[in-house]
Amino acid sequence: MKNAYDRFITMTREIRQLGTVAELLAWDQETYMPKKGIALRAEQLSTMASVAHERLSSDEFGTLLRQLDEDIDDPVRATNIREMRRFYDRAVRVPAELVARIAKTTTLAKEAWVKAREASDFALFAPHLKELFELKRQMADCIGYQGERYDALLDEFEPGMTTAMVADIFASLRKPLADFVQRLADAPNQPDASIVRRHYPRAAQEAFGRRLAEAIGFDFDAGRLDVSTHPFCSGAGPLDVRMTARYYEDYVNASIFGILHETGHGLYEQGQSIEHCGTPTGAYVSLGIHESQSRLWENMVGRSRAFWEKFYPECQAAFPDALTDTSLDAFHGAINCVGPSCIRVEADEVTYNLHIVLRFEIERALLDRRLDVKDVPDAWNEKMRTLLGITPANTAEGCLQDIHWSLGAIGYFPTYALGNLYAAQMFEAATEAVPDLEGAIRRGDTGVLLSWLRENVHAHGMRYRAAELIERVSGRPLSIEPFMNYIERKFAPIYDL
């Protein structure tokens, strides 16, 4: 028995190492790789993926998993076996032929999506989207599910979460959030958004962003911050975390809050157990929990007034031309402007969730065949009107704006909104547990919050599924209440509600 477990752990680590090598190759592709390297890099990544898949779905690994018993008193073993069994099941249930068809279809779909978005012509993308949803239905049927097909797809990104749970949460969020956006729009005080669109020299942004990442606890001896078109965080484990940022001289939010966001992801990675590196006990729970860490640092901490009481003088010193004559309150208002917009990635933290509710409702209906692909643009616009009171000018600003569907990532969107809700619930629990947390943030002592997160969230790895983790952390199941309370408390003084 002991030998079987040791062999299982060795193989598990090898599988994960193949994955991290691929992550570093992908990181390099987005940061330093010369343009002409792209074709070879695509082959390298595809080879890495198939070697890892072979290992994971091998007879040897399957036999080991059958020999090992999950019901043991050791939580580390139980977690590792349970989660690797889940990865294994997902890997072996989908036939290689279907995997290959999905890969081929997404390659073509992504090309078509780029053209369709450029031309703002949904018809160019529609046939690919239709085929992708058909293949994803087949994939869901191979994997199996208890409630509805969408469960099987959601489970890839948010293990254990069900469509019904997401639907309940989102249904309860829809109206109160849309009403709140309206209240802010009608509020007497509207902050001046132009402050963050002044001239902010790039070199100063790089230095200040790095300073903030360090100040909230990122260890630069165990990670890097580089530049890419779309910011991300990846890496090879807690001792080698790779983050990226982007810089616009006429829009400082992109770097400051992009960096705080990715640092939130990075702190979660650096907080994983070194001893259990490469196994589920030393890995993140779900994309939603990962996103909760980035949103907590970006928004609950990074957009709070307390945080800027500490850092605004430094910020003014870093950007004297832009900010010398701007008060802390004006700056704090500018970084917290809320308003309906068509593009998800540009959305503020309040309207953001509504963009996700819309996407979830549409992709769920598509998968169920309650909605036809050709009717997506109309359904999209209709929901934009109901949820945000605006209509996109064209499909490029509407249903063609996101890359996700073209990559076959269906069931991914909910993790963004779940992340916001988990974050608010965790932050509320931290505020109750840590004496005078706000005062500590005001002094720049965010280490107490990081320690709390390390102990209550990071250290567990995948031991608890997201729903269980949030209940352990906060004493109750996930609800929209902490998020609604958080935005009410935060935006009331800014907007004079």
Q: Which of 23, 83, 262, 298 is catalytic?
A: 262
Residue 243: beta bridge partners? 225, 233
What CA–CA distance (Å, rounded) separates 470 from 473?
5
CB of 53 to Co ion, least distance (A): 26
Q: Closer to Co ion at the Cβ: 12 or 244? A: 244
Helix, strand, coil shares of the chain as percentages rounded to 5?
Answer: 70, 5, 30
Active-site annotation holds for 134: no
CA gyration radius for the chain? Answer: 23
**How many residues of this chain bind Co ion (CB under 5 A)?**
2
Residues 180-219, one symbol each (x = binds Co ion by CB under 5 A, - = not), give ----------------------------------------
Q: Which CB sits closer to Co ion, 152 or 356? A: 356
Least CB distance to Co ion at residue 55 (A): 28
CB 265 to Co ion: min, Å: 6
Site for Co ion in 95-124 (CB under 5 A): none
Nearest approach, Cβ of 91 to Co ion (angstroms)?
25
Binding segment (CB under 5 A) for Co ion, from list 54-62, 245-253, 292-300, 350-358:
292-300
Which CB sits closer to Co ion, 401 or 420?
Answer: 420
Given 163, 205, 272, 294, the residue binding Co ion (CB under 5 A)? 294
Binding range to Co ion, per CB under 5 A, among 79-87, 206-214, 290-298, 357-365: 290-298
**Minimum distance from residue 293 beta carbon to Co ion (Å):** 9
Residue with smallest beta-carbon separation from Co ion: 294
Give me the residue label for tokens 């294994």. 88
User: 281 or 420, CB closer to Co ion?
Assistant: 420
CB-based contacts of 391, cutoff 8 Å, min separation 6? 381, 384, 385
Instruction: Considering only the stretches 95-103, 211-219, 293-301, 371-379, report the one whose residues sit in contact with Co ion under the rule CB under 5 A.
Output: 293-301
Spatial separation of the C-alpha atoms in residues 129 and 125, rounded to whole Å: 6
Half-sphere exposure of 153 (CA within 13 A, CB side): 28
Taking the complex as a whole, how short is the minimal distance between the CB of residue 420 and Co ion, in angstroms?
11
Stretch that binds Co ion, among 37-45, 74-82, 193-201, 294-302 (CB under 5 A): 294-302
Report if residue 57 touches Co ion, rule: CB under 5 A: no
State residue 54 phi and psi, 5-degree precision. Answer: -60, -45
Cα→Cα distances 323→168, 195, 196, 298, 303, Å: 44, 8, 9, 21, 17
How many other C-beta atoms are found inside a 10 Å radius of the C-beta of residue 52?
19
Q: Which residues share a beta bridge with 225?
A: 243
Binding segment (CB under 5 A) for Co ion, from list 155-163, 284-292, 387-395, 475-483: 284-292
Nearer to Co ion, 77 or 290 (CB): 290
Interatomic CA distance for residues 137 and 321, integer angstroms: 55
- Residue 242's nearest CA partner among 260, 253, 227, 229 is 227
Pick between residue 64 and residue 225 the one whose CB is nearest to Co ion: 225
- Token readout for 484 is 């609604």
Are 440 and 446 a contacting pair, CB within 8 Å?
yes
DSSP 133-191: HHHHHHHHHHH--SS-HHHHHHHHHSTT--HHHHHHHHHHHHHHHHHHHHHHHT-S---
The residue among 295 and 332 lying less far from Co ion, judged by its C-beta, is 295
What amino acid occupies position 59?
Answer: D
In the complex, minimum distance from the CB of residue 261 to Co ion, in angstroms, rounded to a whole number: 6
Binding region for Co ion (CB under 5 A): 291, 294
Residues annotated as catalytic (active site), given as ranges: 262
